[in-house]
Amino acid sequence: MRSPLEEEVLARIRPTEEERERIRRVAEELVRAVDSSGKAQGMVVGSIARNTWLKGDRDLDVFMLFDPSLPRDRLEEEGLALARSIAREFLAPHTEKYAEHPYINMELEGLDVDLVPCYRVPDPREIMSAVDRTPFHSRYIAERIRGLEDDVLLFKQFAKSGGFYGSDQMTEGFAGYLCELMVLHYRGFRPLLKAAAGWRRRTFIDMEGIAEKTFEDPLVVIDPVDPRRNVAASVSLTRKFEFVELARGYLERPSPYFFETAGDPPLSREAYGEVLRMRGTRVIGIRFSTPPYIPEILVPQLRKSLKAVRGLLERHGFIVNRADCTMRHRHCLILFELMVHRLPAVRRHIGPPLWQASNADKFMARHAGETIAGPFIEDGCYIAEVRRSYLDALDLLSSVETLETALGKHVKQAMAGGWEVLEGEGCWSEEFAEFLSGFVLRSSPLLRVRRRERAGT
Amino acid sequence: MRSPLEEEVLARIRPTEEERERIRRVAEELVRAVDSSGKAQGMVVGSIARNTWLKGDRDLDVFMLFDPSLPRDRLEEEGLALARSIAREFLAPHTEKYAEHPYINMELEGLDVDLVPCYRVPDPREIMSAVDRTPFHSRYIAERIRGLEDDVLLFKQFAKSGGFYGSDQMTEGFAGYLCELMVLHYRGFRPLLKAAAGWRRRTFIDMEGIAEKTFEDPLVVIDPVDPRRNVAASVSLTRKFEFVELARGYLERPSPYFFETAGDPPLSREAYGEVLRMRGTRVIGIRFSTPPYIPEILVPQLRKSLKAVRGLLERHGFIVNRADCTMRHRHCLILFELMVHRLPAVRRHIGPPLWQASNADKFMARHAGETIAGPFIEDGCYIAEVRRSYLDALDLLSSVETLETALGKHVKQAMAGGWEVLEGEGCWSEEFAEFLSGFVLRSSPLLRVRRRERAGT
C-alpha cells in the first residue's frame, strides 16, 4: 500500500502520457532505423525500455546488436558508421564518445541519445565487453518489473534526493539497474526500505541463488545474469549507510523532503570564509588543470593522490581533519582541512636502539653537531631533535616533495605542468563553490532532510 | 693493566692515607661504643667497610645488630635509644630519620654518620627487613674485593660523571653495591667496560649461579646473598644504555672527561628563554608545593602523575614532544614541551557505526543541532564535529580536569591545595634552573664528554 504522500510524489515524478508517447515514438523510430540497415538489430535498453524513467529524464539508450562473428575492429568501424548514418538521417547533431569502445551520442527532440554498438551473444557468459551485458539486464528487468514501475520511480527519486543515485566514481552509489533489482527483490519501495533499515555492515543478496564468487564489498548483489559479478560493487560503505539512515528516517517520519532534489544554494566566497573562521581551521587546496580524461579514469587517480598527499602531510607532522577531492571541467582540486598547519622548528627523529651498536654509531656520527638537541637516549634508543624541513604545511604542499609522492599517473602528469596551492577563501571560485560548500557544511543526508523540513514549515 | 690516564685519575679520587686513618678511627670508635653497650653488635658497612670509598665521601654507615628474638617494636625502641646515647657520648648533633624503620643520623668529625639498628640473622633468607641484608652484602664484598678496590673507585667515578650512579628513584642508576659486584664479576674496570659495550637489550648476570626467579628488568644481577633479588632492579633501560654508550666511547678514545663530575653551569633565565625561542616550542609546567614525603615515595607518584597529565593533553589533541618531572625541596614541577599547544575550535568526535542502530540513533539525538558540522557518515560511522573544550593547552592544565586525572595520591593532595601553570621563561627559577637546563639541552652522556673535551682543548 502506498501512502497519500507517495502518491503525491509519484504524480510529480511520473512521466506524463504525452512524454511517454513522444519518447516511445523516438525510440521506435531509432530501432527501426537500426533494423532496416540490415547490419544490426536495434534494441532500446535502460529505464526507457522498462518504463522506469523519471519525468524529465532525457537519456535514451539504443543498442545496435551485431553478430558475434564480426571482428572487434570491424564492429567499432561498422557500428560507428551505422550510428552516424542514422544521426544524419534524423538530422541530429552528434559526437563520438568512448566507454569500453566508441559510440555515438546525439541530440534528438530534446533527448540525449546514445547509439551503442555491441555483440548479440546468446548467453551473458559469452560477452566480449561490458556493453554486451546490457541487453540481458534490460530483458531481465523488463520481464519482471510489471506492476513495480512506480516503486522503482519512488526509489530512484529517493536515491537522487539522498545523493546515492549513480554508480560513477564520484557518487559511489546505486546504478539505475541496481535500483530496479532492489525493488524487484524486496517487492516494492517500502519493503526495500524496511529491509535496508536493518542492514548490517555487510549485506549479501543473491536473488537467483547463483553466486559463483565471494566479494568483500559492503553491499553485494549478485547480478542475476552474471553469477560472477556484484552489481553493487560501486556502493561505498558511506553511501550504503547514508541510504540506510534515510530509510530509517523515512520509515519513522516520512515527508516530501525525502524526494526533493533541490539543495541549498552553494556558499558565496564571503559566507565560505565566514564558516572557515568559525571552524578555526586552515583549509588548503591543491589546484591544477584537469587533464583530458574521463571521470572513470581520473577520479580514482585523484583519490589515490589525495591519499598520498595526506600521507605526506602526516609524515611531516601536520594533522589532517578532513580531506576530499573533486574533478571539474577546467580544474581539479585536492582539499585538506588541517587541525595543525604550523609546527615548531624542532622535529623528533627516532634513531636505532643502542644494542644495535653499528647502526647506533652511524646515527650518532650523522647527527652529532647537526641537531637542535641530542642525540640523547630514551628507552634505549637514540633520539635526535633536528630542524624541521617545513614549518608550514603551505610550504610543504608547494614543494617538489608533493610531486614526488605516489600520485595517480595522469594527475602527476598534469601537476608536472604546475599546480597552485590555495588557502582559505582563496580556494573559492564559481567552479568549486558547490564542492566547497559540501565540504565544510557536511552533514548526514537525514539531517539535511530534517533541516529542510524545519525550514519549510 | 691500568693506563697512565687511569693512574692519574686514581691519584685524584683515592682517599689520602690521612683521610683513611681518620675515618677508620671514627668507625672503630663507633663500633666499640655499640659493642660495649652489651645490647647489640657494631658493624661498619658500606664502602668504608671495604675500602671502596671515593675521596671526599662523607657517608659512614654503622649498623647495630640486635638479636632476632627481640620483637620488632622493641628493636626500634632500643635501637634508637642506643644510637642516641652514642651520639650524646660523642657530643654529635643528631636527628631521627626513617627508611623501612627509624634510625639516627649524626654529624661527627665532618662525617655524615648513620647508626642503623637491624637484626643479626644467621642467613639472608631469614631477614625481617631490607636493612638486615646489608651486613651480608658488606661481608660478601669485603671477603672478595681485595686487589680490585681501585677498579671500584674508577668505576664509581665513571658512573658519577656519567650520571648513572645511584639507585634512587630520580637517578634510576647503579647502587654502590652493584658497582662493586660488577667490578668483581668482570674482574676489573676495563673488563667490565668491555663487557658492557656488547650488552644487548636484556642482560642477565648470576655470579653464583643461584637464581631462583626470573626478572623482566633490562639489567638483571642476581644478588649473591639472595637468589630471589635483582640488585639492578633500579636500573632503567635509558640509564643502562647511557652506561653502555660511555663504555664504548671510553674504550674507543679515553679521556679524563669521563671522570669529571663538574658539569656546565645551569642556564640563566634569559639563556633558557633564548633556547626555547630557538626550538620554537611551547614549554608548560605545573608547579605545586612539595608535600612532606621522601623522594622514594613521591618521585614514583610524580612519574605516575606526569603520565596521567600527558594522557590528558594527548586526549585533547595537544601533542607532547617531551615531558619530565622533578621534586625539589620547596616545589615539584611537571614539565611538558608541546609541539602543538593551540588547536582550532572544531574537534572530531567519532560516533558508533550505523549498523548499531540504537547507539547510532542515540548519538544523532545527542549531537544534532549541537555541532559545528555533522553528524555525517564516514566509512559507515557517524562523525560529529563539536566545539573543542580547550583551545589552548594552558587552559586545560589550569582546569579541574587536570586534578581529576590519575595523579599520585600525595601529588593529588598537594595539588588540591592549588597549583600554578607556568609557561616558557616563567617556569624558570633558581630552584629549577639545573633541571630546566638539562630538559632543554638534553644530550647523551658521551656527547657531553666529547663536547667538554673539545671545549677543554
Q: DSSP labels for A132-179?
A: GGHHHHHHHHHTT-TT-HHHHHHHHHHHHHHT-B--STTT--B-HHHH
Say how many Å lie between the first and final Cα of chain A, rounded: 27
pLDDT per residue as tens digits for the range A152-208: 999 999 999 999 999 988 899 999 999 999 999 999 999 999 999 999 999 999 999
Complex ipTM > 0.85: yes
pLDDT per residue as tens digits for the range A332-373: 999 999 999 999 999 999 999 999 999 999 999 999 878 888
Residue A293 pLDDT: 86
Shortest CA gap B181–chain A (Å): 23
**Nearest CB to B345 within list A241, A279, A368:** A279
Substitution target from B204, B242, B391, B444 for chain A, most A beta carbons within 10 A: B444
The CA distances from residue A54 to A12, A142, B300, B360, B382, in Å, are 9, 16, 72, 33, 32
Judged against a pLDDT cut of 90, whether residue B315 lies above it is answered with yes
Smallest CA–CA distance from A360 into chain B, residue: B245
Lay out the sheet containing B226-230: strands in order across: B203-205, B219-223, B226-230
| Dist CA A161 CA B394 (whole Å) | 46
Residues of A in contact with B348 (CB under 8 A): 321
Per-residue confidence band for A255, with pLDDT thresholds at 50, 70 and 90: very high
Judged against a pLDDT cut of 80, whether residue B263 lies above it is answered with no
Judged against a pLDDT cut of 80, whether residue A262 lies above it is answered with no
pLDDT per residue as tens digits for the range B130-188: 899 999 999 999 999 999 999 999 999 999 999 999 998 889 999 999 999 999 999 99
3-state secondary structure of B40: coil
Residue A290 pLDDT: 94
Average pLDDT, chain A: 93
Residues of B in contact with A339 (CB under 8 A): 317, 343-344
Helices (H), B91-236: 134-142, 149-162, 176-186, 189-197
Smallest CA–CA distance from A317 into chain B, residue: B339
3-state secondary structure of A54: coil
A229: closest CA among A170, A142, A167?
A: A167
In chain A, positions 41-60, which contact chain B (CB-CB < 8 Å)?
A: none
Helices (H), A329-444: 357-367, 393-398, 400-403, 409-416, 433-440
Residue A457 pLDDT: 62
Give the number of C-alpha atoms closer than 13 A to the C-alpha of residue A343, restricted to the C-beta side.
30
In chain B, positions 115-134, which contact chain A (CB-CB < 8 Å)?
A: none
Average pLDDT, chain B: 93
| Dist CA A147 CA A394 (whole Å) | 58
A226: closest CA among A107, A324, A140, A339?
A: A140
Smallest CA–CA distance from B248 into chain A, residue: A357
pLDDT per residue as tens digits for the range B316-348: 999 999 999 999 999 999 999 999 999 999 999
pLDDT per residue as tens digits for the range A205-235: 999 999 999 999 999 999 999 999 999 999 9
Under an 8 A CB cutoff, do B343 and A348 touch? no
Residue A313 pLDDT: 97
Residues of A in contact with B241 (CB under 8 A): 353-355, 377, 380
**Nearest CB to A442 within list B339, B354, B376:** B376
3-state secondary structure of B263: coil
In chain A, positions 259-288, which contact chain B (CB-CB < 8 Å)?
A: 278-282
Substitution target from A443, A446, A451, A452 for chain B, most B beta carbons within 10 A: A443
Q: How many percent of chain B have pLDDT more than 90?
A: 86
Q: List, in order, residues 6 or more apart from A430 with CB less than 8 Å away.
A: none
Say how many Å lie between the first and final Cα of chain B, rounded: 27
3-state secondary structure of A403: helix
Helix axes B189-197 and B237-252, enclosed angle (nearest 10): 110
Shortest CA gap A224–chain B (Å): 27
A290: closest CA among A330, A250, A243?
A: A330
Under an 8 A CB cutoff, do A241 and B197 touch? no
Cell numbers at A169, concatenated: 566514481
| Dist CA B281 CA A220 (whole Å) | 51
In chain A, positions 191-250, which contact chain B (CB-CB < 8 Å)?
A: 197-201, 218, 237-238, 240-242, 244-245, 248
Cell numbers at A115, concatenated: 547509439
Residues of A in contact with B444 (CB under 8 A): 364, 374-377, 382
Smallest CA–CA distance from B218 into chain A, residue: A380
Average pLDDT over every residue of A411-422? 95
**Nearest CB to B373 within list A319, A348, A441:** A441
Q: List, in order, residues 6 or more apart from A29 with CB less than 8 Å away.
A: A90
Smallest CA–CA distance from A379 into chain B, residue: B238
Cβ(B373)–Cβ(A440) below 8 Å: yes
In chain B, positions 392-451, which contact chain A (CB-CB < 8 Å)?
A: 440-444, 446-447, 450
Helix (H) or strand (E) holding B128: none
Lay out the sheet containing A41-45: strands in order across: A41-45, A59-66, A111-119, A102-108, A94-98
Shortest CA gap A257–chain B (Å): 18
Judged against a pLDDT cut of 90, whether residue A264 lies above it is answered with no
Cis peptide before A375 (omega within 30 of 0): yes
3-state secondary structure of A191: helix
Shortest CA gap B361–chain A (Å): 9
Substitution target from A172, A239, A377 for chain B, most B beta carbons within 10 A: A377
| Dist CA A349 CA A342 (whole Å) | 18
**Which residue reads 660488577 in cell numbers?**
B182
Average pLDDT over every residue of A298-320? 95
Substitution target from A303, A320, A356, A447 for chain B, most B beta carbons within 10 A: A447
Do the strands A102-108 and A94-98 form a parallel or antiparallel pair, or are they unpaired?
Answer: antiparallel
Judged against a pLDDT cut of 80, whether residue A263 lies above it is answered with no
The CA distances from residue A420 to A270, A284, A396, B282, in Å, are 21, 10, 12, 32
Could you tell me if B186 lies within 8 Å of chain A, comparing CB atoms? Answer: no
Residues of A in contact with B279 (CB under 8 A): 344-346, 372-373, 385
Cβ(B440)–Cβ(B279) below 8 Å: yes
For B209-240, b where at least 16 C-beta lie within 10 A, e where not — what string? eebeeebebbbbbbbbbbbebbbbbbbbbbbb
Smallest CA–CA distance from A282 into chain B, residue: B344
**Number of other CB atoms surrounding residue A33 within 10 Å:** 20
Under an 8 A CB cutoff, do A343 and B348 touch? no
Size of interface A-B (CB pairs under 8 A): 150
Residue B457 pLDDT: 62
Under an 8 A CB cutoff, do B353 and A201 touch? yes
Residues of B in contact with A373 (CB under 8 A): 279, 440-443
Under an 8 A CB cutoff, do A278 and B345 touch? yes
For A90-109, b where at least 16 C-beta lie within 10 A, e where not — what string? bebebeeeeeebebbbbebe
Under an 8 A CB cutoff, do A443 and B245 touch? no
Average pLDDT over every residue of B62-88? 93
| Dist CA B90 CA B107 (whole Å) | 10
Cβ(B170)–Cβ(B324) below 8 Å: no
A402: closest CA among A343, A334, A341, A350?
A: A334
Shortest CA gap B300–chain A (Å): 17
In chain A, positions 331-350, which contact chain B (CB-CB < 8 Å)?
A: 339-340, 343-346, 348
Cell numbers at A350, concatenated: 627516532
Radius of gyration of the CA atoms of chain B, in A:
27
User: Across the strands, what pairs with B327?
Assistant: B332
Cis peptide before B375 (omega within 30 of 0): yes
| Dist CA B424 CA B123 (whole Å) | 55
Substitution target from B377, B392, B441, B453 for chain A, most A beta carbons within 10 A: B377
Residues of B in contact with A241 (CB under 8 A): 353-355, 377, 380
**Nearest CB to B200 within list A355, A376, A378:** A355
Could you tell me if A299 lies within 8 Å of chain B, comparing CB atoms? Answer: no
Q: How many percent of chain B have pLDDT more than 70?
A: 100
**Nearest CB to B379 within list A238, A339, A373:** A238
The CA distances from residue B320 to B207, B282, B341, in Å, are 42, 10, 9
Under an 8 A CB cutoff, do B380 and A218 touch? yes
Lay out the sheet containing A373-378: strands in order across: A346-353, A381-387, A373-378
Average pLDDT over every residue of B94-107? 86
Cβ(B344)–Cβ(A280) below 8 Å: yes
B68: closest CA among B137, B140, B10, B132?
A: B132
Residue B61 pLDDT: 94
Cell numbers at A130, concatenated: 561490458
**Nearest CB to A443 within list B198, B374, B443:** B374
3-state secondary structure of A374: strand
Q: What is the DSSP letter of A342?
A: B
The CA distances from residue A87 to A90, B82, B311, in Å, are 5, 120, 70
Lay out the sheet containing B94-98: strands in order across: B41-45, B59-66, B111-119, B102-108, B94-98
Cβ(B347)–Cβ(B388) below 8 Å: yes
Residue A75 pLDDT: 92
Helix (H) or strand (E) holding A432: none
Residue A406 pLDDT: 93
Cβ(A227)–Cβ(A210) below 8 Å: yes
Residue B97 pLDDT: 84
For B380-393, b where at least 16 C-beta lie within 10 A, e where not — what string? bbbbbbbebebbeb
**Nearest CB to A199 within list B321, B355, B360:** B355
Residue B264 pLDDT: 80
The CA-based dihedral angle spanning residues B14, B19, B24, B26, taken in that order and rounded to the nearest 10 degrees = -140
